[in-house]
Structures are given as C-alpha cells and as structure tokens.
A and B are shown apart, each in its own frame.
Chain A
Amino acid sequence: QSALTQPASVSGSPGQSITISCTGTSSDVGGYNYVSWYQQHPGKAPKLMIYEVSNRPSGVPDRFSGSKSGNTASLTISGLQAEDEADYYCSSYTSSHVVFGGGTKLTVL
C-alpha cells in the first residue's frame, strides 16, 4: 500500500497546458483502469475531476483530461485558468483498497 508518486509542484501561465504524472506499479495503476484525479483548494474538500482514467464527471470542464500508459497515469489541464491553482491528487483502486498519490501543487503564474 505505498503511495503513488506525483511531482511535488508544477506551474504554468494562463492559457498554457500542464501535465501532472502519477506513477504506481502493476498492482495498482498498471493493473486497473480505475485511476481518479481530485482537485483540492485550500480548506476545502477534494473534488473528483477524472475517474476511470479518462472520464469526466458532469460539470468538469473539458480542459481537464486523463490518460494512462503502463504504470503511469497523467492529468492534463489545457487553457490554464487562475482558478485551476490548487492541489491535485491521483488515486488508484487496488484489491478493494484505494491508494492516493502524494499530491501536486499547481501554481498558475
């Protein structure tokens, strides 16, 4: 049950695109198409942004997209906006458990 690996921070300018990686193992990210991504603003509860690798819940802008290759999943945010500045967490389902990544702080310059 080791945490998934995410970069501690990423940054980008408004309008640009950024990608956050999430690396696990064949027992979690690589073994299941059940990777999710969450956005968390300071003092708020997390919000589901992507589920099952690449699906967006209703109401999530299509600027947010997800993908996976092998043991690494990725979240891409295109057309960065100021309100995208937040912490982002990936997670993976694995054998009736869930494991989260350590989180990535996105700064919009």
Chain B
Amino acid sequence: EVQLVESGGGLVQPGGSLRLSCAASGFTFSSYWMSWVRQAPGKGLEWVANIKQDGSEKYYVDSVKGRFTISRDNAKNSLYLQMNSLRAEDTAVYYCAREAMAGTGAFDYWGQGTLVTVSS
C-alpha cells in the first residue's frame, strides 16, 4: 500500500525556518517525481515545488523561489522541504504528493498533510 506521511509542521515566527519531511512507503520512491502542494486555511490548492527522480531537476512556484528548497533522499525514501524566511502567507497545510507519470502533473497519491502556521 502506497503511503506518504508528512511531518515537521508547527508554529513558527515570521522570518523563521522550518523543515518538512515526507516518508514514503509501498512503492519505488526513486522512480517518481515528487511535489509539495499547499493549502491555506479555507483556500484552494497551490503547487509549491517538485523534484525529479534523481534530484537533478527542481522547480518552484515564483512566490517561494529563493526561500524554499526541495530535496530528497532516495536511500531513506524521504522527501523534504526546507522553508526559510517564512511569511504569514506561507501559513497552510503542506501535502507531499506523488506524480503518477513524469511530466503530467497528475498526483495519484497524497499524504495527510502537515500544518505550518507562521505567526508572532
């Protein structure tokens, strides 16, 4: 059974940092593009970043470029999101998601999400 389990969310002050993790199981993690998608309270979905199977390509939504870094450790079946210079508008539930097929942007499995709250 495919499982994605996020962790690392919490309350952080504006300007602070947080590192999210996503533990994957039930599939060959190293064979898939992975993404982070977030959802602000009461709002819609927003794609944040993705990373190629071997980590050689990474892409970001403009609003997080230079502040967030996506990475992965295929030996540990884990996906990460390092978030620096956090702003109130980064407050959201952060989901990790598996891209069903490379280059399609279709996410067939999602984690349960981890809540990040940026507030003083």
Contact = CB atoms under 8 A, between A and B. Distances in A.
A42 B2 CA distance: 22
Interface residues of B, number: 23
13 contacts: A34-B104, A38-B107, A45-B95, A46-B37, A46-B107, A51-B108, A52-B106, A92-B105, A97-B59, A98-B35, A98-B47, A102-B44, A103-B44
A31 B107 CA distance: 19
Contacts of B89: none
Contacts of A94: 105
Interface of B: 35, 37, 44-47, 50, 57, 59, 61-62, 95, 100, 103-108, 110-113
Interface string A46-63: 111001100001000000
A96 B102 CA distance: 10
Contacts, number: 70
Contacts of B46: 100
Given A57-B100, A93-B104, A103-B45, 10 more contacts: A36-B105, A38-B107, A91-B47, A93-B103, A96-B50, A97-B50, A98-B47, A98-B105, A100-B44, A100-B47
Q: Chain A interface: which size bin? A: 20 to 34
B45 A100 contact: yes
B61 to A, nearest CB: 6
Interface string A22-54: 000000000000101010100001111001100
Contacts of A100: 37, 44-47
